[in-house]
Structure 1
Amino acid sequence: MSADHQTTEAVFAAMSRARMSNYLAACDGDETAALELYTWNSQVSAAFWETLGHVEVALRNAIAARLQLRHLHRRRTGSWLDDRHQELDPKARHDIRKARNRVRKKHKPVSDGQTIAELTFGFWRFLLAKQYNTGIWPDLARGFPHAPDKARHTVEHPVKSLHEFRNRLAHHEPVWDKPLAAHHQDTCDVLGYIDPGLAAWVDKNCRISELLLICPVTRPHP
């Protein structure tokens, strides 16, 4: 048995045949080719994680800044995270409580900054949902000054798509057969809505476009 074959067998055994079945099917049962595709899938997933990290931080900061300004303009005391006027839904308020508890468990000061850092991508994604269309959205819209319009769904659509895609990445699922170019465009759009300079910087350092050119198999989507 060659060293390369031994390596392939070791990877298949560690990762499981069931997990590798998607890649084997795409490569007509060729184990070497399937392992190459699996490697590429890992690389493109990692590249998306890098870019999505920038998207998540920029998105939460843009939304949090607008909610803080909204809070101040209404001359409210405390923090917008207190939500004393119950403008956020019960799930969002629960998420805030959980985030503050996580901060306490880390023995850190329960500041707005620490709490915001503990809130998930899903928290921010759902603040763009339809239920907030006539409530907080008019203020949130100002956090995306370079969007082509002020329609809520213009921002929500790519963020929702990225949130769902991020969950696939988090579970280490195959993504080689997903519309990766479209997901990449979603990251560029969201960042561009916030600040075109930010979008240009992220794209300059992004590895996704290069990797899409060297996928070892023909993908069903661009």
Structure 2
Amino acid sequence: MQYPFSCLPITFGAIEKTLSPARLARYLPAALGDKHLALRLYIWNARLCEAMYLPMQFAEVAARNAIQIPVGKRFKDKWYENPKFINLLPPRKKDELADTVTKERGKRGGALNQDHIISSLPFGFWVSLMTSSYDKQLWMHGVQMAFPGAAAHEDRESIYNRLDLMRRFRNDIAHHVAIFDQSPQKEFQNVLHITKLVCAETHWLSAETARVGRVINERPAV
């Protein structure tokens, strides 16, 4: 779908005011100054962000659960209450963990378990556990326990770089940033690869259900 509409001037003016001229101006260079095409590009960019959501969800959930494996192995099921784990964290991450535990305990009471904490902690918390600060505590024996699909050349640092790239791309999407000219196909392949690091079958499902390539090919033209 090429979104081939064109608004009346009064309609376009109202839309531009609502979204802000500055926001739509981001698309004007790609639209060669055509404001109506810029609006169509804006909508297409939103559709592209929408298409990224499902494969990114697969990758993020897979990565969270994978990183928890060495955490749980070393610090047991209630790692989120274990002082030995908590004391490894910098102050900001300690606060994130404490806030999450307090919130989830308020909702779950005595039924609270690690699954609630894993899903509720910010993705950045999990990505931070892949930094060199945790080499000795979590990654001394390599990444295979958490990421069985990793090739021989893929180590903790390379996987961290992939996860952080996805984290930043994910944040751009969440803040409605233009991603259409940020190599979305490359970002999509990174997302798929992260899932593949954890599980080949889930990678297949993610690739099979994704609409990213189709939406990329629907870029509006003059």
TM-score between the two structures when normalised by the length of structure 1: 0.86
Alignment of 1:1-222 (within 5 A): 4-5=7-8, 6-72=10-76, 79-85=78-84, 86-106=87-107, 108=109, 109-138=111-140, 141=143, 142-149=145-152, 151-216=155-220
Larger RCO (CA within 8 A; separation ≥ 6): 2
Structure 1 residues 178 and 159, CA, compared in 2 at 3 Å: closer, same or farther? same
Greater displacement, 13-22 / 23-32 = 23-32
Q: What is the CA-CA distance between 1:89 and the residue it aligns to?
A: 3.3
In structure 1, stretches of 5+ residues that fail to align are 73-77, 218-222
Greater displacement, 150-159 / 89-98 = 89-98
- Could you tell me how far apart the structure 2 residues matched to 1:140 and 1:117 are? 24
Structure 1 segments (4+ residues) deviating >4 Å:
none
Whether the 8 Å CA contact 1:51–1:202 is kept in 2: the answer is yes
- Could you tell me how far apart the structure 1 residues matched to 2:66 and 2:188 are? 20
Q: What is the CA-CA distance between 1:82 and the residue it aligns to?
A: 1.9
What residue in structure 2 maps to residue 220 of structure 1? none
Write out per-residue CA displacement over residues 54-99 of structure 1, whole angstroms, 9 at most, x where no aligned residue: 2111111111233212334xxxxx6111232233333332211011
Which amino acid letter does the alignment assign opposite residue 119 of structure 1?
L
Q: What is the CA-CA distance between 1:37 and the residue it aligns to?
A: 0.4
Aligned-residue CA RMSD (Å):
2.2
Structure 1 residues 14 and 82, CA, compared in 2 at 3 Å: closer, same or farther? same
Q: What is the CA-CA distance between 1:38 and the residue it aligns to?
A: 0.5
Q: How many residues in Structure 1 have an aligned counterpart in Structure 2?
A: 211
Q: What is the CA-CA distance between 1:36 and the residue it aligns to?
A: 1.0
Write out per-residue CA displacement over residues 97-142 of structure 1, whole angstroms, 9 at most, x where no aligned residue: 0111222444554322212221011011111112112221236711
SS in 2 for 1:176: coil
- How many percent of aligned residue pairs carry the same amino acid? 25
Which amino acid letter does the alignment assign opposite residue 91 of structure 1?
R
Whether the 8 Å CA contact 2:75–2:82 is kept in 1: the answer is no
SS in 1 for 2:118: helix
Greater displacement, 173-182 / 99-108 = 99-108
TM-score between the two structures when normalised by the length of structure 2: 0.86
- Could you tell me how far apart the structure 1 residues matched to 2:147 and 2:6 are? 54
- Could you tell me how far apart the structure 1 residues matched to 2:141 and 2:12 are? 54
- Could you tell me how far apart the structure 2 residues matched to 1:185 and 1:138 are? 28
Whether the 8 Å CA contact 1:125–1:156 is kept in 2: the answer is yes
Which amino acid letter does the alignment assign opposite residue 80 of structure 2?
L
Which amino acid letter does the alignment assign opposite residue 11 of structure 1?
I
Q: What is the CA-CA distance between 1:28 and the residue it aligns to?
A: 2.2
Structure 1 residues 12 and 106, CA, compared in 2 at 3 Å: closer, same or farther? farther
